[in-house]
Amino acid sequence: MTTMLPTVDPESRSLAGVLPDCLASLTVGGGSLPRADHAVVVLVDGLGAANLRGAAAHARFLAPRLGPRSTTTSAFPSTTAAGIATLTTGSLPGRHGLVSYRARDVSGDRVVNQLNGWDAGMVPETWQRLPTVFERARAQGVTTTVIGQERYRNSGFTRAVLRGADYRAGRSMADRLDAAREIVSTTAGPTLSYVYVPELDQAAHEYGWESGRWTALLEELDGDLKRWSSRLPASTGVLVTADHGVIDVAPHQHVLFDQVPELVAGVRHIGGEPRCLHLYLDADAGPVDRERLAEAWRAEEGGRAWIATREQAIDHGWYGEVDPEVLPRIGDVIVAARKRIAYYDSRPADQSARGMIGQHGSLTDEERRIPLLGLGRYEP
3-state helix/strand/coil string of 222-234? HHHHHHHHCCCCC
What are all long-range contacts of 320-325, with beta carbons under 8 Å and residues at least 24 apart?
A: 320/8, 320/10, 320/91, 320/92, 320/93, 320/94, 320/95, 321/10, 321/92, 321/94, 321/95, 322/94, 322/95, 323/94, 323/95, 323/97, 323/129, 325/97, 325/129
Give the pLDDT of the chain (380 residues) as one tens digit per residue: 567 999 999 888 899 999 999 999 999 876 799 999 999 999 999 999 999 999 999 999 999 999 989 999 999 999 999 999 999 999 999 999 999 999 999 999 999 999 999 998 899 999 999 999 999 999 999 999 999 999 999 999 999 999 999 999 999 999 999 999 999 999 999 999 999 999 999 999 999 999 999 999 999 999 999 999 999 999 999 999 999 999 999 999 999 999 999 999 999 999 999 999 999 999 889 999 999 999 999 999 999 999 999 999 999 999 999 999 999 999 999 999 999 999 999 999 999 999 999 999 999 999 999 999 999 999 99
> In the chain, what is the straight-line distance between the N-terminal and C-terminal CA atoms, in Å?
45
- As a whole number of angstroms, the distance between CA 284 and CA 71 comes to 41
DSSP secondary structure letter of residue 31: S
Q: Which pLDDT score is estimated for 237?
A: 98
0.85 surpassed by pTM? yes
Give the three-class secondary structure for 280: strand
* Cα 295 from Cα 91, distance rounded (Å): 32
Q: Alpha-carbon distance 287 to 29, whole Å? A: 47
